[in-house]
A and B are shown apart, each in its own frame.
Chain A
C-alpha cells in the first residue's frame, strides 16, 4: 500500500513538473512578444517605416529606419537566392543520384550538420576573411555572401528531409516512362516536395534576416538606403543593437520599436510559409 502510494506520488510530482516546464516554454514566447510589443508602442510610428534617419536621429530627432528595413530585406533576399542555388542541387544529387551509403553522401550530410552548428560569429569572421581575399569592403554583397553561407546548412538540411520523403515508386514510375534523372528530379521530385522546399527557403530567410553577428563584420552600416551591391548596407538587427546602446531614452525606445518590427517580419514570414505550404500541399500526390 505504501509502495503503491509512493509510486502514485512520484507520478503526480513529475506530471506537475512536466506541465510546469511546458508552461515555462510557452510563456517565455508570450513574455518575449508581449514585452517587446508593449515597450515599442510609445515609439512605434508609421514614419519609422518610411523614413531614413535624418540629422540628429540618433539624438532623438526625426527619422526612421527605412534604411535598415530595406537593407535587411535586400541582404536576406540576395543571401537566400544564393543559398537556394547552392542547396537545391546538393539535395537533389544526394537523394536522386548518389547512393545513400556512398562516402560522398555521408561526408556531405556530416559537413551540413557541422555547418548547422557553426556559430554565426564564426561565419562573420570567415566572411571577413573571404571579403579581404576577394578585395571587397564591408558591403551589401559581402553581407549577402556571408549570410548566404550561414543559410546553406539550414536550408539544405530542411530540404533534404522533405526530398527524402518523396515516394520511391513515384520516381521509378517517372524513369519507367522514359524521363531522364534530371527530368525526374525537377518535374517530379521538386514538384512533389515543393511545400517542404518553400518552407525550408522561408525558414532560412527568417534566420538570415534576423542574424546580427554575421553581418557585423561584413555588411557595414549606413544611414541611406543601399543603391549598390558594393556599398555598405544597414541591417535591422544592427540598427536595434546600435540604438539600444544609445544613452538617449527616445533612441532606446526606437530600438524596442525596431525589435518589434523585426519580430513582426520574422513572424509574418513564418506564418506565410505555413499557409503557403498548406495551400501547395493540394498539388502533391499522396
Chain B
C-alpha cells in the first residue's frame, strides 16, 4: 500500500515536472498562432522596420515601439548597472556588518514594491523633477513624461535584481584570492578591481542580462511615466511608446479592428523571444564560466 502510494506519487510528480517546459512551449505556440494572421499579410521585416502605426488603415509598423523599448531599457541600464554594482561591491567587500544587516532587507522590500506603485511615485516625483529641473538644465523643453523618467523609474526597479545576483557572485569568489592580493600590497579597491570583479565577470554579465530582461518587459510603471507617443524618440527628453505599453493600452479595442489583436499578440511574441534569447545567452555565459573555473 505504501509502496503503491509512493509509485503513484512518483508518476504524478514526474508528469508535473514537465509543466514548466510545457508552459514555455504553449506560450510560444499560442502567441505564434495568434500572430499568424498578421504575418500572413505583412512580412516580418516590414512589420519590424515600419514606422507608421495606423491600425484602422491596416498599417502596423513596430519600429517606434521597438525604439521606445530599447531607449527606455538602455537609459535604465546606464543608471542601474553602475549604481547596483558599486552597491554590491560595497556590501560584499567594505560595509560593516551593521550596514549590511540593515541594507539587505531594504533591498528585499524594494524588490517587493508593486510596479503600479513605482508608477504612481514616478508620476508624483520623477516626472515633475525631470520636466521642471533636469530638462531645463540641458536646455530642453519636456513635459517630464519621457524616456529619462521611464529610465529612472525602471532603474530603481531593477536595482534589487542586479544587486542580488552580484552579491551571490562576489560571495563565491574565494577569500584566499583576496588575501593573496592584499598580502601582495594591493589596496582594497585594487583587490576588488583585479581579483573580485575579474573573477566575477561572467556572473556580473549574467546579472546585467537578468536586469535587462526584467526592464525590457516592465509594463505599468513605464507606461505611466513615458508619455506614450508613437514616434521614435530622438532624445532622452522625448516621449516614447514601449512595446509592453502598446499591448496594455490597446487591449480594449483590439478585438474591434481587423488584425489589431494579431499585431498585439505579435508584440507579445517579440517580447517573449527576446527574453528567451537573453535567458539562453545568460545560461551559456554561466556554463562557460563554470567550465573555465573547473
Report the stretch among A50-58, A175-183, A188-196, A278-286 that lies at the interface. A175-183
Report the stretch among A25-33, A165-173, A223-231 that lies at the interface. A25-33
Q: Of residues 258 to 293 in B, which have CB atoms within 8 Å of A's CB atoms?
A: 264-265, 268, 271-272, 275-276, 278-279, 283
Find chain B residues with CB under 8 A from A181 CB. 6, 10
Is residue A118 within 8 Å, beta carbon to beta carbon, of the partner chain? yes
Find chain B residues with CB under 8 A from A26 CB. 103, 106
Chain A 191-224 against B: per-residue CB contact (8 Å), 1 yes, 0 no? 0000000000001001101111100110000000
In the complex, what distance in Å separates the CA atom of A266 from the CA atom of B109?
Answer: 9
Q: Are A266 and B90 in contact (CB under 8 A)?
A: no
Is residue B54 within 8 Å, beta carbon to beta carbon, of the partner chain? no
In the complex, what distance in Å separates the CA atom of A17 from the CA atom of B189?
Answer: 12
Closest CB-CB distance, A201 to chain B, in whole Å? 14
Is residue B108 within 8 Å, beta carbon to beta carbon, of the partner chain? yes
Chain B interface category by residue count? 35 or more
Find chain A residues with CB under 8 A from B90 CB. 18-19, 21-22
Is residue B78 within 8 Å, beta carbon to beta carbon, of the partner chain? no
Find chain A residues with CB under 8 A from B156 CB. 28, 32
Is residue A247 within 8 Å, beta carbon to beta carbon, of the partner chain? no
Report the stretch among B39-47, B134-142, B215-223 that lies at the interface. B215-223
Closest CB-CB distance, B121 to chain A, in whole Å? 5
Is residue B172 within 8 Å, beta carbon to beta carbon, of the partner chain? no
Residue from the list B3, B264, B275 in contact with A114, Cβ < 8 A: B275
Find chain A residues with CB under 8 A from B247 CB. 121, 124-125
Report the stretch among B14-22, B59-67, B143-151, B230-238 that lies at the interface. B14-22
The secondary-structure label for the interface of chain A is helix
Interface centre among B120, B192, B248, B271 (most CB of A within 10 A): B120
Find chain B residues with CB under 8 A from A185 CB. 9
Is residue A255 within 8 Å, beta carbon to beta carbon, of the partner chain? yes
Find chain A residues with CB under 8 A from B187 CB. 7-8, 10-11
Q: Are B163 and A25 in contact (CB under 8 A)?
A: yes
Chain B 20-48 against A: per-residue CB contact (8 Å), 1 yes, 0 no? 11011011001100100000000000000
Is residue B159 within 8 Å, beta carbon to beta carbon, of the partner chain? yes
Chain A 1-43 against B: per-residue CB contact (8 Å), 1 yes, 0 no? 0000001101100110111111011101101100110010000
Given the interface pairs A107-B21, A263-B113, the reply to whether A39 lies near B244 with Cβ below 8 Å is: no
Closest CB-CB distance, A284 to chain B, in whole Å? 21
In the complex, what distance in Å separates the CA atom of A206 from the CA atom of B167?
Answer: 23
Residue from the list A93, A126, A212, A270 in contact with B16, Cβ < 8 A: A93
Q: Are B220 and A113 in contact (CB under 8 A)?
A: no
Interface centre among A39, A149, A216 (most CB of B within 10 A): A216
Q: Are A21 and B114 in contact (CB under 8 A)?
A: no
In the complex, what distance in Å separates the CA atom of A15 from the CA atom of B12?
Answer: 54
Given A108-B17, A121-B219, A183-B2, 12 additional A-B pairs, CB 8 A: A10-B187, A11-B188, A15-B94, A25-B83, A32-B121, A93-B13, A115-B20, A117-B278, A182-B9, A212-B116, A266-B112, A267-B112
What 10 A-B pairs are tightest by C-beta distance, nearest first? A119-B217, A210-B114, A18-B90, A125-B268, A21-B86, A111-B20, A213-B219, A180-B6, A93-B13, A111-B21
16 CB contacts below 8 A, A to B, read A18-B87, A18-B94, A22-B99, A28-B156, A32-B110, A93-B14, A104-B18, A113-B283, A115-B23, A117-B210, A118-B272, A118-B275, A119-B217, A119-B275, A182-B9, A266-B112
